[in-house]
Amino acid sequence: MAWFNISMRSSSHLLFICLFLIGHLLSAQRIFIDEDISDWNNSEIALYEEPGDNNSLDILSLAIADDENYLYLKIEFDREILLQQDNNLTLEISNADINFSFNFGERYGRLGNIDLFHNNIGLISSPTVSSRIFEIQLSKNWDLGFGSTLELSGEVDIALTNIDSNSDQLPNGNNKITYILKGDVTTPVPSYSIEKAADTDFRFCTYNVLRDNIFESDARGAYTGILQTIDPDVIIFQEIYDHTSSQTLNRLLNVFNALDNSSQWYAEDRGSDNIIISKYPIIYSREVAGNGIFVINRNGVEVMIANIHLPCCSRDAEREREIDRILEFIRDSKAGVENFTLKSNSPIIISGDTNFVGNSDQVDAFMQGDIFNNNTYGSDFEIDWDEDGLQEIIAFTTNRNSLYTWQSDFSSFSAGRLDYIFYSDYGLEVLNSFVLDTEALSSEERQEWNLNRNDSKTASDHLPIVADFKLNPVVSNKEFTPQAFSIRPNPSSDKIYIEPSVFDNNTTLLLYNQQGHQVATIRSPEYNISHFPPGSYYLALMQQYQTVWQKLIIAR
């Protein structure tokens, strides 16, 4: 029992003895706000438990720890709840100088007569979906406004109360847990590399750019620095409503100078606001329930990418309908009963702005191929080829020990994880990942990468997630040598002939225009190109795991 670290203030010593109080003092260890509570099991923490004393929402336990800058809480309930809405859970922190209360469901706190919100107290909670267990981080240095600050230090009294008709309190009887802030838990920053990892086959990024803000002149400098730093090979955007994929590609290439001008780039837009920019050919694209499905060819390996932007806020039913439709398409394309058949063992990525702020089983649905409405959308299925489901990337925010991908000082909701990358671990290996927040970078990092502190907030309320993928051997074969081919005549005005004949079950021949858009699939050695406007085109011969390119000039 850690008497010097945690104690009870009560007028009744007998009540104190009867309460079920457990303290742990083990070796100092890190605390991550990362939806994984295993780090709380072996940390220098104070654990207070009081299970089974309420028929309504029962607060089972509260664990407390702190480091140099933050106070950490782990709260466990007897059932799943949403922490930031639909509850009356109140946290109280007090001592001789302060009396603070914060209602999580109302997302609002009071310090005396001062209103405080998440940005005033540095509040981050995890997860954003429903859960029985939440991790919470609070800054020890509060911004009270008008240049006034408050520092939490020394001894504080802490209590949790669920204010409803059958309210539960931890501890019971209007008691408080007394906790001494010592700052003795260490929180090293999770490792990441802004540089691409060695052996990366492609760097992938997902980024919600806040209602076409990527095209606003005021945000040009911020996006230039961010996208040049990321240097993606494949990037998917959400919330580009009023501009085409060609306009987006031109902006990245010629305005931001964020892409390699020596490479051929491809762009497609499908869905209401979903765009992909890829260094590799886009061999298929389709809108599915307002979201974009794309298939790229990385040196002969097909990678299916679902670029998603699901309905926000309290629209669980709408989110689940879109999830079902996306899963139905992936299942049927794997089975060969869709208009596109995904080759066996081809990696699958589902990524984007998920708006996961509701039921936790929506996360599980994408990972396991679990369809909500089987009567309408058919049976559940094994979504990955090795039958263990898709994996999610746990990407930490740069220089933080948390996973937030969205933050806004203008919203009552605190920073959280709204953007995800789910991927096939059968075909892909994650070498490196991070969420880029320029405000969290060190001044040395910002100087090295030519970034400004406020670039992330100027650009969007979302942050980009970056992942360096390596293709597993099961889907890559670098030693395969594809068959060469030629085009005659070249230039041509009407018909072209492909020599030698390269058409069999293992090859695909695609025609792309100069903007990188696929304009035709060629299925025979003779092909009529008279209906295409004059200009430069590219033929891509995709054989097994490699691609051979030939330039075609259409002249009149």
Please indicate, yes or no, whether residues 309 and 361 belong to a single structural domain of this protein: yes
Nearest CA to 484 out of 497, 500, 504 is that of 500
Please indicate, yes or no, whether residues 412 and 265 belong to a single structural domain of this protein: yes
Residue 367 is inside which H or E element, if any?
helix 361-368
Question: What is the pTM for the complete model shown?
Answer: 0.84
As a whole-number percent, the residues of the chain with pLDDT over 70 amount to 89
Q: Does 188 score more than 60 pLDDT?
A: yes
What CATH number did the domain enclosing 115 receive?
2.60.40
Ranking 308-312, 412-416, 509-513 by mean pLDDT, the lowest is 509-513
- Long-range contacts at 213-221 (CB < 8 A, ≥ 24 apart): 213/239, 213/459, 213/460, 214/240, 214/248, 214/251, 214/459, 215/242, 215/243, 215/247, 215/251, 218/458, 219/458, 219/459, 220/255, 220/256, 221/452, 221/455, 221/458
Q: Is position 304 within any domain?
A: yes
> End of a domain among 113, 147, 181?
181
pLDDT of residue 11: 37
* Under 8 Å between Cβ of 106 and 335: no
Measured in degrees and rounded to the nearest 5, phi and psi for residue 504 equal -150, -170
- Higher-confidence position of 19 and 302: 302
pLDDT of residue 211: 98
Cα 512 off chain centre by: 31
Residue 288 DSSP SS3: strand
pLDDT of residue 13: 33
Please indicate, yes or no, whether residues 33 and 63 belong to a single structural domain of this protein: yes
Strand partners, 416: 406
pLDDT of residue 10: 41
**SS3 sequence of 298-355:** ECCEEEEEEEEECCCCCCHHHHHHHHHHHHHHHHHHHHCCCCCCCCCCCCEEEEEECC
Ranking 131-140, 398-407, 474-483 by mean pLDDT, the lowest is 474-483
What CATH number did the domain enclosing 542 receive?
2.60.40.10
- Look at phi and psi of residue 344 and say left if phi exceeds 0, alpha if psi is from -120 to 50, else beta: beta
> End of a domain among 412, 442, 471?
471
| Average pLDDT, rounded, for the chain | 89
What CATH number did the domain enclosing 404 receive?
3.60.10.10
3-state helix, strand, coil in the chain (%, to 5): 15, 40, 45
Compute the distance between CA of residue 78 and CA of residue 54 in angstroms, rounded to an integer.
Answer: 9
pLDDT of residue 501: 65
Please indicate, yes or no, whether residues 216 and 360 belong to a single structural domain of this protein: yes
What is the band of 43 on the pLDDT scale with cuts at 50, 70, 90? low
> End of a domain among 471, 496, 526?
471
- pLDDT by residue (tens digit) across 47-81? 999 998 888 899 999 999 999 999 999 999 999 99
Work out whether the CA dihedral 454, 356, 85, 172 comes out positive or negative.
Answer: negative
Compute the distance between CA of residue 68 and CA of residue 187 in angstroms, rounded to an integer.
Answer: 9
Please indicate, yes or no, whether residues 177 and 216 belong to a single structural domain of this protein: no
Q: Is position 273 within any domain?
A: yes
The pairing of beta strand 282-288 with beta strand 89-94: unpaired
- Please tell me the total count of domains within the chain: 3
Q: Is position 195 within any domain?
A: no
List the domain range (segments joined by +) for residue 496: 486-554
pLDDT of residue 14: 30
Q: Is position 68 within any domain?
A: yes
pLDDT of residue 510: 82
Compute the distance between CA of residue 366 and CA of residue 343 in angstroms, rounded to an integer.
Answer: 20
Strand partners, 92: 101, 159
pLDDT of residue 152: 96
pLDDT of residue 507: 61
Please indicate, yes or no, whether residues 278 and 238 belong to a single structural domain of this protein: yes
Nearest CA to 339 out of 299, 285, 289, 377 is that of 285
Q: Is position 197 within any domain?
A: no
As a whole-number percent, the residues of the chain with pLDDT over 90 amount to 73
Please indicate, yes or no, whether residues 26 and 124 belong to a single structural domain of this protein: yes
Please indicate, yes or no, whether residues 132 and 209 belong to a single structural domain of this protein: no
Q: Is position 41 within any domain?
A: yes
379-383-387 Cα angle (round to 5): 105
- DSSP H helix total and E strand total for the chain: 9, 35
Ranking 307-316, 378-387, 536-545 by mean pLDDT, the lowest is 536-545
412-414-415 Cα angle (round to 5): 140
The single-letter code of the amino acid at 480 is: F
Compute the distance between CA of residue 288 and CA of residue 307 in angstroms, rounded to an integer.
Answer: 10
Residue 13 DSSP SS3: helix
pLDDT of residue 394: 96
Q: Does 239 score more than 60 pLDDT?
A: yes
Helical axes 316-335 vs 361-368, angle rounded to 10° = 10
Please indicate, yes or no, whether residues 409 and 508 belong to a single structural domain of this protein: no
Count of beta carbons in the 10 Å neighbourhood of residue 265: 18
Please indicate, yes or no, whether residues 238 and 92 belong to a single structural domain of this protein: no
Please indicate, yes or no, whether residues 13 and 115 belong to a single structural domain of this protein: yes
For residues 437-476, one letter each, b for 16 or more C-beta atoms within 10 angstroms of the residue's C-beta and e for the rest, the string is bbbbbeeeebeebebeeebbbbbbbbbbbbbbbbbbeebb
Residue with tokens 């760097």: 203
- pLDDT by residue (tens digit) across 466-480? 999 999 877 764 444
Tell me the DSSP string of 160-186. EEE-STT-EEESSTT-EEEEEE-----
Q: Is position 196 within any domain?
A: no
Please indicate, yes or no, whether residues 138 and 169 belong to a single structural domain of this protein: yes
Nearest CA to 192 out of 425, 437, 379 is that of 437
Q: Is position 187 within any domain?
A: no
Q: Taking residues 212-219, what's their average pLDDT? A: 98
Compute the distance between CA of residue 52 and CA of residue 168 in angstroms, rounded to an integer.
Answer: 10
Cα 296 off chain centre by: 21
Q: Does 26 score more than 50 pLDDT?
A: no
Q: Taking residues 153-168, what's their average pLDDT? A: 89
**Two structure tokens written together for 245:** 């994929």
